[in-house]
Structure 1
């Protein structure tokens, strides 16, 4: 489905404890998508609660003739509580459907305002915890809530409603200062993230315009989980390439899809990932490096997931 020769690593960029390696792949210009952000801006997407609201389901209406692409982990704020999209989903043009979501604001259940696009996607630890819980047939929502609690504890900031987005807002100045200067290069369709000298994962969209819309969100999602270390790190591009090669060589298991997309999941000793295709073209490929401990005593009360990234 993906060949290592299709993935080109471009010149790396570094600042503070963050290093990124831009990724260039063959592009899917023939696939035309509307993203959630653009859909909200143009008034072509509507997100609402079910008639009898429930935590893990929302209704999305695509008013455009163009398929709507929702990206796993992107946040939608408002409604009765903030949510993240559970998986990457392609919704047909001029259609409405129920989608699976996870709550990222445990302490609120009451209408706030109409749903709108968030400036954030789920932090990398939360995405990893959610994916790991799913692969082990455990409670994904508990994993998300527990991960947000860990984020609050690490950042020593406690939102009144345990809202993930408020932790991002609280760290906004530091995040902005670090990611300023990381340029999107010509033809870039993805990025590999290195924090404190360690590869943490990669994200590829196979379309430069779609990648552009998620560039800052992705960088923030890894940075917010990190602790800055005042050290100089050597960037081993060959090792980075080997991480991608190992992900390609995994066994990809097809899973049930929500919309028009095809969904595949894969894992190895280092991490877990997913791949989504539409009309036999790959549209989203992601891989998160981390370790999962399902037996940690402090998590057992909530049937949750302890994650080390």
Structure 2
């Protein structure tokens, strides 16, 4: 049986992050270092895109919908991992997942999300599809900081998310009638694809550390097969952040290693998850992050630097629904 989550935000010893850093790749000032597992994974789960093709469904919570929540139905015999920041397209407005959620086989639940398309509130489909990317790293960083000690609080990150979407659209000179995060990816699809060719996934890779200047992001999964499926979506989010910062001095390899050390040494709290497992939140002098643990195994991890540059833009107060 999955372990029971502790009480709200219990402090606890740091989990063991079973990853080792490989040789980085640099292209046009972007640096990506692969992570490899140091132990065999235990938990079994499918990724969102695979599950959607087999009958997994995400819909509005009802005819009227609710901006900070979506309904999930998993008819499969597999648990399904929904990754923190994955974008869902369709229904009444596009959303991103506020946290990683492990949805049990044969279960239904309601998951916390944030809107990334504030100018639309009308149905274009009954259910959601995958938007094909994870939110850009700066948005996820700001969302993680805004959620703080209450990661399941509905709507708590909405202001920060909208600010980050607007900032990226304006920085990349993207016109979007509905202020849609996905329009930034659509407008720069060719540039993203050209950059992506330099950063393939390696056999056995389970994660990556992304660096652009002094701003770093780490993402990891327990299963290399799941990471390989998710990598194109994560990579697009990384590269969207880099488009207006190309050809600058690359992140030094020793800085990337130091960042990984900061993640492993950060103070950790555990609390209830939205689905199976235990939600992890960690914070250090220069790092903030989140993860998901199941029966003592870290199955998902995301971490971000917190520097003056990374913290540009305010964290707005939670906002009400915009229609």
Determine if the alignment matches structure 1 residue 129 to structure 2 residue 142. Answer: yes
| 5+ residue gaps, structure 2 | 1-13
**Structure 2 Cα separation of the partners of residues 292 and 50 of structure 1:** 38
Determine if the alignment matches structure 1 residue 254 to structure 2 residue 270. Answer: yes
Local SS of the residue matching 2:53: helix
Number of the residue aligned with 2:290: 274
CA contact (8 A) 1:260 1:278 kept: yes
Number of the residue aligned with 1:178: 195
TM-score normalised according to structure 1 size: 0.89
Residue-pair matches, total: 298
**Structure 2 Cα separation of the partners of residues 210 and 292 of structure 1:** 33
CA contact (8 A) 1:188 1:208 kept: yes
Local SS of the residue matching 1:101: strand
CA contact (8 A) 1:157 1:167 kept: yes
TM-score normalised according to structure 2 size: 0.85
Give the Å deviation of 1:199. Answer: 4.8
**Structure 2 Cα separation of the partners of residues 68 and 148 of structure 1:** 27
Choose which of 75, 79, 83 in structure 1 pairs with 2:91: 79
Number of the residue aligned with 1:30: 42
Local SS of the residue matching 1:30: coil
Number of the residue aligned with 2:317: 303
CA contact (8 A) 1:274 1:285 kept: yes
Give the Å deviation of 1:232. Answer: 5.4
**Structure ranking higher on relative contact order (CA contacts 8 Å, 6+ apart):** 2
CA contact (8 A) 1:192 1:199 kept: no
Number of the residue aligned with 2:163: 146
Give the Å deviation of 1:248. Answer: 0.8
Give the Å deviation of 1:279. Answer: 2.2
Give the Å deviation of 1:162. Answer: 0.7
RMSD of the TM alignment (CA)? Answer: 2.4
Give the Å deviation of 1:139. Answer: 3.5
